[in-house]
Structure 1
């Protein structure tokens, strides 16, 4: 069956066959990171290839039914049913082949920072972290806290955590959570407010794809590594040794730190994960600055200067300002029931990608 309607289908099939050959090579599996990367891409393309083959099979069946209907009108109903199925399969295939962010199949690193509002903002940052934690763990994904700085009331000045999927699936952590990047505004009566007045504060969220060592070239000479004593909770082993690590990437000025682990080596490894993700995000922001508006819209989710959502506690209302989404179930959303909101964001993104593909 001719796939002229889908100009990228042939390249997708070829890449799938190439990856299949790589996975059959025993040498690949001696490199765990590369093997995992190839395996994930193969699984991702497998869903697209299945849709291509289903479309081709339906098209062949429709052609055969059409020939039979020419000779016997009794086959007309069957031909019509196959035509409807082919239309549905074509729409699904168009969605799968639409341009997408190459990081969508990656795990994610998420950073939440308190902003305007002092202690109330830090408490809201904790609320956001717990909201994401509940949602992603409900999907069977894992949350790994890499670094956090707490306040006296238990809020977060900042927290950085990884979200990892145990296996490749239709939706992966970065592909889902990238829409959360931006400024989140909260309107409520803070616990520190004695007169019952509603305050407005905000927290910033940055979502980055987790990248492998080999995907980002980092020169050791470009790094300044400082060690210091951890200041947060964690027991005697954490707080009495110089196990915390701060890494400064001199060319870019990016600084990352980690103090949650007991050993200096573990903290350095976590800090390097954060640095690789930050360098990737920074490089893509720079590329976006010189790109088309369409490309900018794909990466704008890493820009914390953009207010994206309001959480109004008195009205139990949540509003996403990018897509006009509103719902009066804020309590459920904060308990991790983000599905309808994330589905709406995914649908808006798909519509935009399909528009670019036309």
Structure 2
């Protein structure tokens, strides 16, 4: 069984491979390496937990050896039994992870998620002010090209823009074409790795001194549940209608077509204002709400089983920086080369 150093070394090599500019042209190899990277990170997380348990075992053994307080000794002995058992369980989990091929694990994961073929993606501007909003807009433009390449359908559900062409936040749905089956029709399986914090390093168009700025945007990938899966009681909703606003806050519609829905039991609030039709905006807002309630349900179930929160929105850690886009160096850190993204964005501007 490989040890922690071997696992760390393989993980390091994969990170180097993912940084190779040539890899972006080979999507199959890129996807396989990304999956293997995640598999190794699960193993490394288990190793880290084992080390924590070992430290606690030493602390309890020291308390028992000190033989100073009978009551404290009794508690330490009880904890020690549980910790030793926990260490055995973790080591077995590591052995199982190392024995199982990551491709088999991915296949099982894919099977578990077949019922969630469509996704709702939410992009929010993070730190960086106007530049963060422009970066969020760039991310949306990048993702909006992906459905066309994969043969999927895409629809914007909600958007809040700025007066310089950026977006404060945008929510859109990606779903497979009715004729697509298997992995090609599983949008979630291909998009779930995008969730997290994306960071950009570039010179903003508004920067006169030529300094490089760093900005962030968060991407959340939510599984879209089937209608029969999430039951929402009408009495649990507060629905408000208001006039849609555009960049700078000015109203863009004389009628109250924008919709805000508050789910009273959970406190979740969603909005939609992209359509001119109030009913369509309400349908869009309900779709977003159902996905967020499913997300909350999945997280609660995971916390109950694991004892702590591990994942963010669906399948990625929101607090984890997953990708850095370095424009001056034309580089995409951790996942490949940025040149293809930059070229596509430049073509769109031409």
Matching residue of 1:161: 172
Alpha-carbon distance between aligned partners in 1 of 2:137 and 2:200, rounded to the nearest angstrom: 12
Confirm or deny: 8 A CA contact 1:141 1:165 kept in the other structure: yes
**Which region of structure 1 is more displaced relative to structure 2, 112-121 or 132-141?**
132-141
Confirm or deny: 8 A CA contact 2:310 2:317 kept in the other structure: no
Q: Does 1:184 align with 2:192?
A: no
Confirm or deny: 8 A CA contact 1:216 1:276 kept in the other structure: yes
Number of aligned residue pairs? 239
Matching residue of 1:331: 339
Which ranges of structure 2 fall in alignment gaps of 5 or more residues?
Answer: 1-100, 346-350
Alpha-carbon distance between aligned partners in 2 of 1:260 and 1:226, rounded to the nearest angstrom: 15
Which ranges of structure 1 fall in alignment gaps of 5 or more residues?
Answer: 1-90, 338-358
Alpha-carbon distance between aligned partners in 2 of 1:283 and 1:299, rounded to the nearest angstrom: 11
Q: Does 1:281 align with 2:292?
A: no
Matches within 5 A, 1:220-231: 220-231=234-245
Q: Does 1:137 align with 2:133?
A: no
Q: Does 1:102 align with 2:115?
A: no
Q: Higher relative contact order at CA 8 Å, sep ≥6: structure 1 or structure 2? A: 2
Alpha-carbon distance between aligned partners in 1 of 2:307 and 2:331, rounded to the nearest angstrom: 31
Distance 1:251 1:108, change over 3 A: same
Alpha-carbon distance between aligned partners in 2 of 1:164 and 1:290, rounded to the nearest angstrom: 30
Matching residue of 2:29: none
Confirm or deny: 8 A CA contact 1:208 1:302 kept in the other structure: no
Aligned CA RMSD, in angstroms, stands at 2.8
Distance 1:170 1:192, change over 3 A: same
1:113-168 Cα distance to aligned partner (Å, 9 max, x none): 00100110010001111111112211111210011000011111000000111022
Alpha-carbon distance between aligned partners in 2 of 1:101 and 1:293, rounded to the nearest angstrom: 25
Q: Does 1:198 align with 2:212?
A: yes
Deviation at 1:283, TM superposition (A): 1.2
Q: Does 1:218 align with 2:232?
A: yes
Q: Normalised by the size of structure 1, how large is the TM-score?
A: 0.61
Deviation at 1:190, TM superposition (A): 0.9
Alpha-carbon distance between aligned partners in 2 of 1:169 and 1:127, rounded to the nearest angstrom: 30
Deviation at 1:99, TM superposition (A): 4.3
Alpha-carbon distance between aligned partners in 2 of 1:257 and 1:121, rounded to the nearest angstrom: 21
